[in-house]
Amino acid sequence: MLRPARLHDARAMAEMSRDLVESGLPWRYTPARMSALIRDTETIALLACEAERLRGMAVMQFLDEHAHLSLLCVQPMQQRRGLGRRLLDWLEASARVAGIGSIVLELRADNLSALAFYERLGFVQTQLMPDYYEGRIAARCMRRRLRHDAGAG
């Protein structure tokens, strides 16, 4: 079941980010930061739950012309079952309704499975940013256009 995150979900979301996305890096998406994102009216924090157990999550900020996918992660035992795609499809549909032209994201350059996932969904790499994460890990910047007139967004 997909549902919007609630404030009491912030700790579980933060821990999931720490363990699956931020592994080996300082913890940036802390419970306090997650709470702020959940409260932000320009951000959607979406959860995939099974019997109230967190299986996946996505956080996307809506700007004027593009949306920024800040986080998307799925528990390892739940991967390759379409959950990440369902989360992203839901967010993309919301972006289209909002008139957003493109979705942008950054991912760790060393995360080849995430790269393959996003490429399958039509994202293209726009830039490689050396030492993006804590001066140690490069980031791949990616974009998926939702409209043909969408600029670099």
Q: Where in the sequence numbering do the catalytic residues fall?
A: 106, 118
Closest by Cα among 32, 36, 78 to 57: 78
Distance from C-alpha of 143 to C-alpha of 153, rounded to nearest angstrom? 8
Distance from C-alpha of 74 to C-alpha of 57, rounded to nearest angstrom? 7
Q: Which two tokens stand for residue 76?
A: 């390892």
Place of tokens 């959607």: 44
